[in-house]
Structures are given as C-alpha cells and as structure tokens.
A and B are shown apart, each in its own frame.
Chain A
Amino acid sequence: MRAKSGLGRPSLAALLVLLSVTETHAATATGNRLNITAILMFFVFIAITLFITWWAASRTRTRSDFYAAGKSIGGLQNGLAIAGDFMSAATFLGVTALVYSTGMDGMLFIIGGTLGWAVILLLVAERLRNLGQYTFSDVVAFRLEDKPVRTMSAIGSLAVAIPYLLAQMVGAGALIQILFGLPYASAVVLVGVLMTLYVMFGGMLATTWIQTIKAVLLLTGGTIIAVGVMLLMKFDFGSLVSAAVETHSKGPAIMAPGVMFTDLVTIISIALAFVFGTAGLPHVLMRFFTVPNARQARRSVAYAIGFIGYFQSLIFIIGLGAVVYVSQNPEFLAPGGGLIGGSNMSAVHLSKVIGGDLFLGFISAVAFATILAVVSGLTLSAAAAVSHDLYANVICHGNSDRDTELRISRITTLVIGVTTMALAILLEGENVAVLALIALAIAASVNFPVLFLSMYWSKFTTRGALAGGYAGLATALVLVLLGPTVWVTLLGFDKPVFPYRYPTLFAMLANLVFAYWFSVSDKTHRASTERESFNAQWIRSELGPVEEKI
C-alpha cells in the first residue's frame, strides 16, 4: 500500500488508499470469476432504484421538488440519507483496509469522521436550514452581494463535487472490475448511466430514497460482519485484540500509531480537514434543505451521528476481524503475496468467512449500491450549483423561469454524467488521488470558512468573502500542485517544493487571514449596509423565517 502516509477525511482519504490499492492489485485480482448472488442482488437493487426514480419523476415538478425533495423528508430518513452520503464504498472498504493494514492508525479516521458531524450539529445544521433554500450559497448570499459571492461559492461547490465525483468513478470502475469481473469501461458506463438517470428524472427525491435504502443495507451488512466476528471471538473484545496482535505481521506495533502520524503539521491538516471539511461538502449541506424546518434538520444530524458513530465503531472490529480471519487464510492470498484484490478487499473477504458465498454476494452488491448512491448525490449538488446558483441567481438575477431552470439542471446533469464517464475511462489506471485531495482541501478551506463567517461574524463583507474564498482556493490548488502528490508522483520531480501532502492548514489559514483583513478594512458603503443587515440575518438564523411564523 502506497497511500498510507498522511490521510484526510474518511471517505475522501480512504478513497486515496482505495485508488492506489486497486491500481496496484488489479492485475492480481480474482480474474473474471462471476459471483451469481452478487449479480442477482445487484439487479434487484437496480430494478428497485429505477422504480423509485420513475415514482419520484412523477412527483418532481417544482424547483423545491427537484433540489430539495419538496422539503418533505423526515428527520429519521434524512439522517439515514446523510449517513449514507458519508458511508461511501471508500469509507467502508478503505477505512477497514486501513485498520487491517495499520491497526491504530485507522482510529484517527474513525474519530475524526464522526467529529465532523458534531461540528455540523452544533454550528451549522439548524442555521443552514433557517437561512437557505436549496444550496449553501443561499446562506452565504443572504446579506452579502448575491452575484459575486454566489459565483464564488458555486465554484467552490463544483471544485469539490466534480473532482470527488471523478475520483469516485475511477475508484468504482476498478472496484467493480474486482467484485464482479466486469470490464473497467463497462463498469464506469453502468455507474454513469444509472446516476444520470436517477438525478435527471428523480431529482433529490429519488436520490434521497436510494441513499436511504443503501444506508440501511450497508448498516445491516456491517452489523452482520461485526457480530459474526464477535461471535467467533465469543463476544470477548480482548481476545479479538490479542488475536489480531498475534496474527498481524507487525505484531504489537499495530496498536501504536506510526504510519500517518509523522509530524504535527500533517496531523493538524488531517484533523482540520476531518472536522471542518465535512461541513463544506455541498452534497451533504444540500440534504439539510430537504427537511421542513430547523427542528427536523437537527433531528437529521442527530440520527446521522448515531448511525455514523455506530458504523465507525463497527469498522474497527471488522478491520481487526479481517486481520485474524483473512490475512493468513490461503483462500484469500494472492500468489505474489498480499490479499487477492488488495487490502481493500479485506472486508469483502471477511464477509465470505462470516456468511459464505451468499453473504459475499450481498456485500459486493451493497458496495456497488454505495457507489451509485454517493455519486448521485454529488452529481445533484454539482447540477444545483450550475442551475440554481449560476443560472437562476447570477444570470437571471433570481427571476428565472421554473421550467427553463429545471431543464438547465437536467442538461447539466447529463453533461456532468457524460463528461465524468468519458474522463473516468480515459483515466483508467491513472493516479487520481490528487482529485480527491483537491476536493478535500477545497471543502475545508473554501466552502466551510466562507459559510461559517457569513453565519457568525457580523463584520464579514462581500469583499472579505471574495478575498478569503479565492485565497483559500488558490492556496489549496497551488500547494497541491507543489506538494508530493503532483510535483513528485505525477510530474516526476525529485523533491516536492511544498513538503506536506495536505494543504488544509495553510489554505484554511489563508482564507481566514484574507477574509479578516479585507472585511475589516472594507470602508465601502456596501460593507456598512452588509454589517447593518447582520442583525436581521442573525434573528432569522436563530428563529427561522419569522414573518411566516407570526
């Protein structure tokens, strides 16, 4: 495994691991041995999701339907859908692989991945729902000048959603190749076509239901694996730990962190990306607009924390279980050493130990479903950034025609679907880790600070938002370019100009410093009006739309 050093937000960072692993091990994969159960279960899933899309299409007429499922989703279901967005294939397979290969290093992911949601609960969720309509840009543009800040936050959304989507597609293609023996290009096209159909016709309603079903399947699958492991261990966590230490090639060293945690700057960047990056992901933020009010938004994230924390605590058990029951099992070892399909397959192999071929098929189908559900959410958030933020508000000044706007979001979905499919096919076998890295850095250093300051800092002005947002964006991009991933791995120079893999600390700081300086020094008339309207925004962020409630 090459991508072990320095990792960030679970799903994104785990994706990095996933990508490099699949890349390395695709050649040693199981070949084209088809798993019939997996394929049958997968077809059942596709049939159900297409039915949901057809059903949702008949209920998707207005903008609110398309972007926000008519604001009709309840707290529990939205909590499941949010948890589903977080529990991507990369989290499930990648973080398990991380625990499997490095032991304690996986714990930073498990904790950080959960804490990011506490930030959303305590600082973001209710205010976001109280102030916004469909995208987080609505909140940033609440009192700041609409066009420029919306353009900036739409760029921020696209700069997270598109690279993340592309990285997911490339990872998905390789993963499906291993799981189902399907050729890479067909796997990518299958994922691309389905996600385009879901979003184009079913909008947020279909996307939410698909994500909900998948979350239930994944939680069920994870629970069965973890309970199976504990059953084999006679429900003694201590014997699981000692068995893992005895079995693992690194021995007791797996209980000490040591691979990722090499220096303080890296660890701070990782922690910041975890904790604040989650609250900067456009597809996650968009989910808070699907519920009717702030109370349901709070319920959603509270449920989501429950599901995510539960799932994360399973992951550690699954990872250790894989060490004990998979790592030394000749059935799963590739001729050249290591696991068949790479260490990412540790959870999948473990499912075979627990429940035989039938359960292996179930877990493979769930992994595929997971990919589909996550890419659909990303596609929808990118489409909304174009049609709601850029077209309706920047180009049409908020007076867009409903049908035209919906047509534009559908066309955007189609364009995004076709483009990412084509690019993903071209990028087969390439190291696309950089894409996930960019997405991660931008979520934490562009979107989150701008959203946060606009909600909490009364002196924040349009000038400050633009300076901060673009400074964060530029810093993140330049540091990724000069860092080890691009400068050394992709461009082949000897030494990176910027020594750290993760730019989050510096890019976030750049955003905050620029935002502060350009806000406090802003003496324009516009700035003073914006500061004065903070009180009106403040009231609505605490109480919701007061005029409607009186």
Chain B
Amino acid sequence: MKMLSQIDKQILNDKDFHKLVRVRHWVSWSFLLVLLGLYLVFGLMSVYTPALLARPVFAGGVVPVGIAMGYLILGMTFLLTAVYVWIANGFFEPLVQKIIAGVER
C-alpha cells in the first residue's frame, strides 16, 4: 500500500494544492450541473409537455422549441468545453507547475 512520502506531506501542506483542488472541483461540478440541468429540463419537457417542445420558438416561425433547445445544449457544451480548457491551460497548469517546483526532495 502506498503510504504518505515526504513529498506527499509537503504537497498536502501547500496552500496552492488546496487552491487547485478547490477551484478545479468548483469549475468541473458547476459546468457539469449546468449541462445536466439543461438535459434534465429537456427530458422532463419530453415526458410532461411534449407539445411545448413542438411549438415554434417565435410566433409565426417554423423552428420548434425542441430543436432550438437541442442546438442550444450542444452550443453550451462547446462553450463550456472551451472555457474549461482555457481555465485549465491558463490557471491549473501553471499552478501544478508551481506546486511541483515548490517541492523539495
């Protein structure tokens, strides 16, 4: 079994490590909840108000709410993926480098 090494103890005492964990968890879970929440709304509407999904988005238009929602969720997924990668490259990666650089053998 892998016990805590000297290196591990240093990392666990590093404030930056806890910052990394906290921010990463917050970002991942909030993004995920947004996407799953939208999917849940779509699913619930499919069961309980299917007619609403078939209604045109704009009065007199033809594109129904369901298609608009579908493409909206796809668009959201693209957007949040891009934002996550941006945060990861700009914030998580440098922090990881900093934490590792701070560890002494």
Looking across the interface, which residue of chain A has its beta carbon closest to that of B28?
A: A122
Q: Is the CB of B62 within 8 A of A543?
A: no
For chain B residues 26-84, which have a beta carbon within 8 Å of chain A?
A: 27-29, 31-32, 35-36, 39-40, 42-43, 46-47, 50-51, 53-54, 61-64, 66-67, 69-71, 73-74, 77-78, 80-82, 84
Among B40, B67, B80, the most chain A Cβ lie within 10 Å of the Cβ of B67
Whether A104 contacts B53 in the complex (CB less than 8 A), given A119-B32, A122-B28, A533-B3, comes out as yes
Q: Please determine whether A121 and B67 come into contact, CB atoms closer than 8 angstroms.
A: no
Interface size class of A (residues with CB under 8 A): 35 or more
A312 contacts the other chain (CB 8 A) = yes
Q: In terms of DSSP, what is the predominant structure of the interface of chain B?
A: helix
Q: How far is the CA of A241 from the CA of B53 in the complex (A)?
A: 14
Contact B42 A111 (CB under 8 A): yes
Which of A121, A123, A245, A257 sits near B66, CB closer than 8 Å? A257
**In the bound complex, do residue A316 and residue B67 qualify as a contact, i.e. CB atoms below 8 Å apart?**
yes
Q: Are A539 and B17 in contact (CB under 8 A)?
A: yes
B81–A112 touching, CB < 8 Å: no
Q: In the complex, which residues of chain A have a beta carbon less than 8 angstroms from the beta carbon of B64?
A: 104, 241, 255-256
- Whether, in the assembled complex, A500 has its beta carbon less than 8 Å from a beta carbon of chain B, the answer is no
Q: Please indicate the chain A residues that have their CB under 8 angstroms from the CB of B78 in the complex.
A: 305-306, 309
Give how many B residues have a beta carbon under 8 Å from the other chain's beta carbons.
56
| Cα of A121 to Cα of B42 in the assembled complex, Å | 22
Residues of B within 8 A of A142 (CB): 2
Q: A533-B1, A535-B4 are in contact. Are A241 and B67 (CB under 8 A)?
A: yes
Taking a contact as CB atoms closer than 8 A, the residue among B31, B43, B73, B100 that contacts A543 in the complex is: B100
The minimal Cβ–Cβ distance linking B4 to chain A, given in whole angstroms, is: 6
Task: Give the 3 A-B CB pairs with smallest separation, nearest first.
Answer: A256-B54, A261-B46, A257-B46
List residues of B whose CB falls within 8 A of some A CB.
1-5, 7-8, 11-12, 17, 20-21, 24, 27-29, 31-32, 35-36, 39-40, 42-43, 46-47, 50-51, 53-54, 61-64, 66-67, 69-71, 73-74, 77-78, 80-82, 84-85, 88-89, 93, 96, 99-100, 103, 105
Enumerate chain A interface residues (CB-CB to B < 8 A).
104, 107-108, 110-112, 114-115, 117-119, 121-123, 142-143, 237-239, 241-242, 245, 252-253, 255-258, 261-264, 267-268, 271, 275, 295, 298-299, 302, 305-306, 309, 312-313, 316, 529-530, 532-533, 535-539, 542-544, 546-547, 549-550
A-B contact pairs, 16 of them (CB 8 A): A104-B53, A104-B64, A114-B77, A115-B39, A118-B35, A122-B32, A252-B54, A255-B64, A261-B50, A298-B85, A299-B85, A529-B1, A532-B1, A536-B8, A546-B100, A546-B103
